[in-house]
């Protein structure tokens, strides 16, 4: 039955009794266009995408899938459409889309789609992986404002699928995701506790499941394939979402202590600079700021920038993680600040500007040191 014939059918549903043997598949038909309602596997979902003047229903997507009985129909659309059986088994995918996205967008790229702070040449603040999902908020001159993961910004409409094309792609991209629910979980080379440990995944790290082996999960993480113990994870179906530039650079495994150090240090931006001062509220200098911030977390550092540099573990700029220190100076050490990620430091600058944010390389870097070992 072709798409045209389905649309001419006066019945409000089509029944298939041959899906997965005796399973019965009931799908809403063409009469439900206005209602934007889909019934699949005895579950009803409502979905509407009013983006750029387009109203798209899951009904239309499902109707398209039913038409594949006619091979000519598939060739006319110049794309491969899943069979009715595949749609029946994708009820969970359609339910996920309906429950999590009002206006779904899918990155239609080979690698990743830049998310910018503003349309055009705005600063890149994150990236959506190929096939990753976003919520489309609005459209402006060929650019979509979107929200994906922790990233909200603008993407080019040339590389974003919306409407029924987004739904079709999302059904294919939906994957089982396992989230670590313990403080540290070994990712091993094979499904055995005697196998070598590739890395330790921190709590709340999400990984894509390639295969469920019962006690073990075969997973992929940071372009590596390995195995984790299933009982220490929570599994669900998800679509990939955008990562911030820090998450891309460091991964999502930045320790809780680093996040806490950064958050705590940011609280004092705008407070005064006082040379030799020892108060985060009434005033302190650059090394005092570092010492007081780290002391709040039980980490002892010396009092001057030079002694702090000498006491810390030397690292390169490329190794910087949020919570590490950047030391500045030309012929001698003159200043120190706390790296907070996204190419920025927070530091007690001078009497005029007080505690502030700056680009990490706003002046000549002497070196970088680490006091947090994780």
The residues carrying an active-site annotation are: 286, 335, 347
User: What is the C-alpha to C-alpha distance for residues 249 and 246, in angstroms, rounded to an integer?
Assistant: 5
Q: Is the dihedral of CA 114, 115, 117, 118 positive or negative?
A: positive
Pairing, β 313-315 against β 283-284: unpaired
What DSSP assignment string belongs to 236-304? Answer: EEE----EEHHHHHH-S---HHHHHHHHHHHTTTTPPB-TT-EETTTEE-HHHHHHHHHHTTT----SS
Count the neighbouring beta carbons within 10 Å of the beta carbon of residue 232: 17
Q: How is residue 115 written in tokens?
A: 């998310």
Tokens read off for 41: 């596997």
Measured CA to CA in angstroms, residue 184 lies from 114, 195, 196, 217, 230 at distances of: 31, 17, 15, 16, 13
Across the chain, how many H-helices and E-strands are there?
10, 27
């Amino acid at each position: 039955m072709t798409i045209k014939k389905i649309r001419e059918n006066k019945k409000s549903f089509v029944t298939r009794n041959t899906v997965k043997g005796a399973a019965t598949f009931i799908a809403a038909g063409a009469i439900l266009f206005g209602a934007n309602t889909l019934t699949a596997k005895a579950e009803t979902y409502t979905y509407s995408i009013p983006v750029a003047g387009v109203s798209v229903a899951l009904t239309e997507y499902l109707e398209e899938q039913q038409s594949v009985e006619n091979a000519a129909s598939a060739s006319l659309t110049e794309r491969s459409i899943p069979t009715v059986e595949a749609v029946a088994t994708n009820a969970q995918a359609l339910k996920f889309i309906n429950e999590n996205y009002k206006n779904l967008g899918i990155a239609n790229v080979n690698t990743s789609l830049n998310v910018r702070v503003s349309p055009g040449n705005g600063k890149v603040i994150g990236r959506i992986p190929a096939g990753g999902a976003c919520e489309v908020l609005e459209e402006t001159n060929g650019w979509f404002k979107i929200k994906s993961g922790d990233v909200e910004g603008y993407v080019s409409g040339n590389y974003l699928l919306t409407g029924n094309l987004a739904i079709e792609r999302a059904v294919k991209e939906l994957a089982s995701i396992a989230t670590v629910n313990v403080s540290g979980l070994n990712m091993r080379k094979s499904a055995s506790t005697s196998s070598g440990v590739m890395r330790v995944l921190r709590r709340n790290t999400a990984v894509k499941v390639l295969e469920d082996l019962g006690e073990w999960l075969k997973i992929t993480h940071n372009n590596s394939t390995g195995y984790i113990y299933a009982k220490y994870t929570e599994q669900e179906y998800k679509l990939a979402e955008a990562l911030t530039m820090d998450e891309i650079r460091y991964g999502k495994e930045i320790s809780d202590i680093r996040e806490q150090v950064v958050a705590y240090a940011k609280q004092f931006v705008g407070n005064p600079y006082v040379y030799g001062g020892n108060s985060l509220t009434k005033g302190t200098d650059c090394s005092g700021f570092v010492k007081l911030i780290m002391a709040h977390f039980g980490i002892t550092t010396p009092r001057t920038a030079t002694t702090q540099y000498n006491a810390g573990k030397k690292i390169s700029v490329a190794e910087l993680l949020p919570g590490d220190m950047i030391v500045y100076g030309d012929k001698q050490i003159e200043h120190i600040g706390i790296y907070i990620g996204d190419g920025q430091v927070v530091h007690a600058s001078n009497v005029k500007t007080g505690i502030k944010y700056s680009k990490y390389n706003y002046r000549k870097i002497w070196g970088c040191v680490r006091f947090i070992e994780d």
